């Protein structure tokens, strides 16, 4: 596959834009995109790809959805940002409160990081504590204390301190955070016991979307809920990846366990930059002048709010069983191909968001994913798939599906997967 134009363009871009990308997660991709349609991306060289990265999750309907775009164009004729409230905000708040099981009140913002930022401050204001617990291998955006033990960090070794994700995070901040393995309720109980009254919140992705979509073990989320109640700690479910994707009501609808605060983003607006923080009224009403700070010039802006309303309207009329069925067929198909090659592997997650891991048993947390699965082999398969016109998030092994992916796309992808897997394990 020729990627000369992408390459030359990225060289020019990286002279002005560090890393040749405006987000570290996109650095080194080697690909520049000309346009996107439905389940396809087309790069500067004219190569076409079936896209399972989907912007790292926001695209749920498919790229360039005409209904959403028309709603945005219609709204744009009435302006972009007013510095005053507008009707689309009420419409969206009503939709979110109706769809998300634990959300009684909601504030809009632009990114998942914004939602995490306010959630943390709110939890501190509510509890009077400043410490936070997060799970190893989840990611909640750019808030300093939460930027510890994020995917990519070597967590081997039993006794250790949470590791900052990058330089520039003050050491004092690292003292605020404790990390525990996902699915390990004893580890969480121990930290809560040892740091009584110091912890404001437990942040977690209810499905470990940033580590191969590892699922919670039966009863785990309910145990976490119970521990947070017992210790008076705010439970924050980060549904930025799972919200409106794994089910219309997100992971909380799927598992029936409710958080105090919920971070929403990505799929809510099918690629437009809108996110939200919602939760129990008693907590959310701490936000406001003289109370907890939550301000943003572009929070609740007209085009993104219109995009979210249109996306949620479309999603309410969509058949989630179709995306689930298609995703499962693909995930299981890949595992069957691995088995045909004598390679042990498993898939985790849901049809709309799943991860593949290579190893004798499925991982339950970041540590087992990091240490007991062959991440590198799966990354190499991802690189081979790209040459066959299939884009997946190779590092964490994740596939997102949209309502635009068809049964033919799945079949075509499985043919490519067979070739990539054969090539990988024949070469070894």
Residues known to be catalytic: 139, 238, 266
Q: Are 364 and 217 in contact (CB under 8 A)?
A: yes
| DSSP three-state, residue 148 | strand
Q: Rank residues 210 and 252 by Cβ distance to ligand PLP and give the closer one.
A: 210
Integer Cα distance of 335 and 345 in angstroms = 6
Nearer to ligand PLP, 275 or 302 (CB): 275
Residue nearest to ligand PLP (CB): 112
Residue with tokens 């109370």: 291
Distance CA 158, CA 152 (A): 17
Whose Cβ is closer to ligand PLP: residue 9's or residue 370's? 370
Q: Give the C-alpha distances (Å, rounded to integers) separating 21 from 25, 29, 55, 364.
A: 8, 9, 13, 33
Q: How far apart are CA 35 and CA 46, in angstroms?
A: 10
Nearer to ligand PLP, 44 or 143 (CB): 143
Which lies closer to ligand PLP via its Cβ, residue 6 or residue 211? Answer: 211
Label residues 161-180 b or e (16+ Cβ within 10 Å = b): ebbbbeeebeeeebebbbbb
What phi and psi, each to the nearest 5 degrees, are found at residue 360? -75, -25
**What does 210-247 look like in DSSP terms, one character per residue?**
TTTTBPPPTTHHHHHHHHHHHHT-EEEEEETTTTTTTS
Minimum CB separation of residue 3 from ligand PLP in Å reads 25
Rounded to whole angstroms, the maximal C-alpha distance in the chain is 65
Is residue 271 a contact partner of residue 64, using CB atoms and an 8 Å limit?
no
Nearer to ligand PLP, 49 or 56 (CB): 56
To ligand PLP, the closest distance from the beta carbon of 312 in angstroms equals: 18
Closest CA to 296 of 99, 50, 83: 83
Distance in angstroms (rounded) separating the CA atoms of residues 387 and 394: 13
Q: How far is the CB of 382 from ligand PLP (least distance, A)?
A: 18
DSSP single-letter state for residue 17 = S
- Smallest distance, Å, CB 111 to ligand PLP? 3
- Asked if 308 and 65 touch (Cβ cutoff 8 Å), the reply is no
Least distance (Å) between residue 293 CB and ligand PLP: 18
| Closest separation in Å from C-beta 301 to ligand PLP | 15
Contacts of 138 (CB under 8 A, 6+ apart): 150, 182, 203, 204, 205, 208, 209, 210, 211, 238, 366
Q: Which is nearer to ligand PLP, 265 or 345 (CB)?
A: 265
List residues near ligand PLP by CB under 6 A.
56, 111-113, 139-141, 205, 209-210, 238, 240-241, 265, 275
Provide, rounded to whole angstroms, the least separation between the CB of residue 346 and ligand PLP.
22
């Amino acid at each position: 596959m020729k990627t000369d134009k992408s390459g030359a363009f990225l060289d020019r871009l990286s002279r002005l834009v560090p890393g040749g990308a405006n987000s570290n997660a996109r650095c080194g991709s080697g690909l520049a995109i000309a346009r996107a349609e439905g389940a396809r991306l087309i790069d500067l060289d004219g190569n076409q790809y079936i896209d399972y990265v989907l912007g790292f999750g926001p695209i749920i309907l498919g790229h360039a959805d005409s209904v959403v775009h028309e709603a945005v164009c219609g709204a744009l004729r009435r302006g972009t940002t007013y510095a005053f409230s507008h009707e689309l905000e009420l419409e969206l708040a009503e939709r979110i409160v109706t769809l998300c099981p634990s959300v009684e009140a909601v504030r809009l913002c632009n990114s998942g990081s914004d939602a995490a930022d306010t959630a943390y401050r709110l939890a501190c204001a509510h509890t009077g504590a400043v410490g936070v617990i997060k799970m190893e291998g989840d990611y909640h955006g750019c808030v300093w204390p939460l930027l510890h033990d994020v995917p990519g960090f070597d967590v081997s070794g039993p006794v250790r301190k949470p590791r900052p994700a990058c330089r520039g995070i003050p050491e004092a901040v690292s003292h605020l955070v404790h990390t525990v393995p996902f699915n390990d309720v004893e580890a969480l109980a121990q930290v809560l016991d040892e740091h009584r009254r110091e912890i404001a919140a437990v942040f977690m992705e209810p499905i470990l979307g940033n580590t191969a979509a590892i699922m919670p073990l039966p009863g785990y989320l309910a145990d976490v809920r119970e521990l947070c109640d017992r210790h008076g700690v705010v439970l924050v479910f980060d549904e930025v990846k799972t919200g409106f994707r794994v089910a219309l009501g997100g992971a909380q609808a799927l598992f029936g366990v409710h958080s105090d605060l919920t971070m929403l983003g990505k799929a809510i607006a099918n690629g437009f930059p809108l996110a939200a923080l919602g939760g129990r009224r008693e907590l959310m009403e701490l936000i406001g002048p003289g109370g907890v700070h939550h301000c943003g010039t572009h929070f609740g802006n007209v085009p993104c709010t219109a995009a979210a309303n249109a996306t949620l309207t479309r999603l309410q009329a969509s058949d989630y069983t179709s995306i689930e069925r298609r995703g499962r067929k693909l995930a299981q198909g890949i595992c069957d191909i691995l088995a045909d090659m004598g390679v042990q592997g498993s898939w985790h997650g849901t049809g709309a968001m799943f991860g593949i891991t290579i190893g004798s048993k499925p991982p339950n947390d970041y540590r087992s994913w990091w240490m007991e699965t062959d991440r590198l082999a799966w990354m190499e398969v991802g690189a081979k798939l790209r040459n066959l016109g299939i884009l997946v998030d190779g590092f964490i092994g994740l596939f997102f599906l949209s309502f635009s992916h068809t049964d033919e796309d799945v079949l075509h992808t499985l043919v490519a997967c067979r070739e990539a897997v054969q090539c990988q394990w024949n070469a070894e």
